[in-house]
Amino acid sequence: MEFPRLLALLLLVLDWTQPGLSSPLRPICDLRVLNHFIQEARDAEGAMKSCREGCGLSQSVTVPQTTVDFDVWEKKNAQEQAQEVQTGLWLLQQSLNTLQTSVTNTAMHSHIDNTIRNLLSINAVLRSLNIQEFTPPANATDLEGTWRVSLATDLLQVHVNFLRGKVHLLLSSAQACKPDVS
């Protein structure tokens, strides 16, 4: 008679002390979040175009291709699309880090910092959509589907086009955001 009560108490205690796997994130399906990042990326590109001094890239960087051919894109499966997007985001992050060290203009520093933070946020959004995390290989810079740019303006333009294109397509077609069809 005492035993069921003790057992219940024990289960409760164990439940509280259970090493917590974090509860799954709620999927962020509202594309206005991405639209906000796109707007800020546009602002950074515009600021870079009007920057006269201390706004150059010290070296050429590798950036993802932004081209979207819908016939080609639709032939890829969801995983390939996700990997392509995550690879591109990783490349952009590396390039923006290089830009950050190259730029001496303080106004541009804030834009670049904001852009890097937004890229991290996009990764979080992808995680919320149950998209498997993908780490590109070390030689990703030599992979197909990349470009080499040497101008800061080209880098930021690629960044904007990548967000508007492939990232937007991936998020808009995410399975987690589609209504359940049972």
Q: Is 176 in the site for another protein (CB under 8 A)?
A: no
Residue count, binding to another protein (CB under 8 A): 22
Distances (CA, A) of 30 to 35, 73, 182: 9, 22, 23
- For the CA atoms of 160, 84, 118, 176, what is the dihedral angle to 10 degrees? 120
Considering the rule CB under 8 A, would residue 71 count as an interface residue with another protein?
yes
CB of 112 to another protein, least distance (A): 22
Q: Which lies closer to another protein via its Cβ, residue 21 or residue 72?
A: 72
Q: Taking a C-beta distance cutoff of 8 angstroms, is the pair 93, 116 a contact? A: yes
Question: Structure tokens of 31?
Answer: 């594309």
Q: How far apart are CA 84 and CA 74, in angstroms?
A: 13
Tell me the Cα Rg of the chain: 21
> 77-116 mask for another protein (x: CB under 8 A)?
----------------------------------------
Token digits for 122? Answer: 């996009």
Stretch that binds another protein, among 91-99, 112-120, 131-139, 166-174 (CB under 8 A): 166-174
Region of 20-28, 65-73, 101-109, 121-129 interacting with another protein (CB under 8 A): 65-73
